[in-house]
């Protein structure tokens, strides 16, 4: 077992207090000693994968409530973090590529698969940065390996410059594939600011009220939305 996996098992608690109580996850929660300790007590910088973000919660809830959409589909979980959306895809009978540039997120995603008795059949894990053109072809092959495909993004629009990069990439991917893009997000700035919103069309699929504990942990966000986004394609 890797040292990261050992650390996760020792320091992160199993919880199901979220919008998706049917999935258990190992996380840093308010009940974890790490929650109140100084940042240097955590050996990993920016452990985003140790939290279950509001956008990821809404996205995962949507997948679990609409399982038939994902059965036999190929799904890229871009920025998988703790792996919740990937787990929901597997419970729906889909094939998932769990992707995160932080390899520790992939360790957490694997651990959370096992916690929910999910096998690795039809699951693959990659730390590649799919935003880079080098991996464009490889990604297309994965998305085209089933008759329907999705790119799902939970809480990935936390920074304006990074959001711009993701929008440009999604536009390019969608210009050559029939993949649908599903975004779970509590309405962070790049998804509501006019400067960015002219770059895509969005259809609200679901809106969920976040449990109180999630609201408290996330700057008072009370709801989270799941949108299907289409990008104005100049390549088609
Ligand atoms: C805010 S967290 C969201 C995690 C998860 N989707 C959720 O909603 O709980 C953002 C995640 O994106 C990952 N990330 C950042 N840049 C990335 C990239 N270029 N490709 C893939 N993952 C990336 C981070 O490592 C982090 O785990």
In a mutational test of the pocket of ligand 1, which residue from 79, 83, 164 has the highest number of ligand atoms less than 8 Å from its CB? 79
Question: Of all residues in the chain, what percent carry a pLDDT higher than 90?
Answer: 70
Domain count across the chain: 1
Selection from 5-14, 37-46, 192-201 with the highest mean pLDDT: 5-14
CA of 85, closest atom in ligand 1: 6
Establish if 186 belongs to a structural domain. Answer: yes
Residue 41 to residues 64, 90, 149, 227, Cα–Cα distance (Å): 35, 34, 40, 37
CA of 55, closest atom in ligand 1: 8
Establish if 209 belongs to a structural domain. Answer: yes
- Specify the CATH number for the domain of residue 7: 3.40.50.150
Domain that holds residue 127: 3-229
- Is ligand 1 within 6 A of the CB of residue 154? yes
Predicted confidence band at 6 (pLDDT cuts at 50, 70, 90)?
Answer: very high
Establish if 11 belongs to a structural domain. Answer: yes
Establish if 35 belongs to a structural domain. Answer: yes
Predicted confidence band at 78 (pLDDT cuts at 50, 70, 90)?
Answer: very high
Nearest of 154, 177, 188 to residue 80 by alpha carbon:
154
Ligand 1 centroid – CA 129 distance (Å): 11
pLDDT at 69: 96
Nearest of 165, 223, 222 to residue 199 by alpha carbon:
165
CA of 84, closest atom in ligand 1: 9
Establish if 235 belongs to a structural domain. Answer: no
Contact 71, 93 (CB under 8 A): yes
pLDDT at 236: 24
pLDDT tens column, 136-189: 999 999 999 999 999 999 999 999 999 999 999 999 999 898 899 999 999 898
CA of 105, closest atom in ligand 1: 27
3-state secondary structure 152-168: EEECCCCCHHHHHHHHH
Supply the pTM of this predicted model: 0.94
pLDDT at 121: 95
Predicted confidence band at 231 (pLDDT cuts at 50, 70, 90)?
Answer: low
Establish if 236 belongs to a structural domain. Answer: no
Ligand 1 centroid – CA 114 distance (Å): 21
pLDDT over 60 (residue 217): yes
Residue of the nearest CA to atom 6 in ligand 1? 154
CA of 127, closest atom in ligand 1: 21
Q: Which helix (H) or strand (E) holds 9?
A: helix 3-11
- Is ligand 1 within 6 A of the CB of residue 167? no
Predicted confidence band at 72 (pLDDT cuts at 50, 70, 90)?
Answer: very high
In a mutational test of the pocket of ligand 1, which residue from 84, 100, 128 has the highest number of ligand atoms less than 8 Å from its CB? 100
């Amino acid at each position: 077992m890797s040292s990261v996996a050992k650390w996760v098992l020792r320091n992160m608690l199993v919880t199901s207090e979220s919008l998706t109580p049917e999935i258990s996850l190992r996380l840093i929660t308010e009940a974890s000693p790490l929650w109140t300790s100084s940042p240097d007590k955590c050996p990993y910088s920016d452990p985003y994968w140790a939290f279950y973000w509001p956008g990821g919660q809404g996205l995962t809830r949507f997948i679990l409530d609409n399982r038939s959409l994902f059965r036999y589909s190929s799904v890229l979980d871009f920025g998988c973090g703790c792996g919740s959306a990937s787990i929901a895809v597997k419970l729906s009978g889909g094939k998932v590529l769990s992707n995160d540039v932080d390899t520790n997120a992939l360790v957490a995603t694997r651990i959370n698969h096992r916690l929910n008795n999910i096998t690795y059949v039809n699951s693959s894990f990659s730390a590649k940065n799919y935003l880079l053109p080098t991996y464009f072809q490889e990604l297309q092959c994965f998305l085209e390996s089933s008759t329907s495909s999705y790119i799902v993004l939970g809480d990935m629009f936390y920074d304006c410059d990074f959001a711009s990069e993701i929008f440009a990439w999604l536009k390019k991917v969608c210009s050559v594939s029939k993949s649908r893009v599903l975004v779970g997000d509590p309405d962070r700035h790049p998804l509501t600011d006019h400067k960015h919103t002219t770059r895509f069309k969005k259809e609200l699929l679901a809106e969920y009220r976040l449990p109180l504990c999630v609201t408290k942990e996330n700057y008072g966000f009370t709801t989270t939305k799941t949108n299907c986004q289409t990008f104005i394609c100049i390549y088609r």
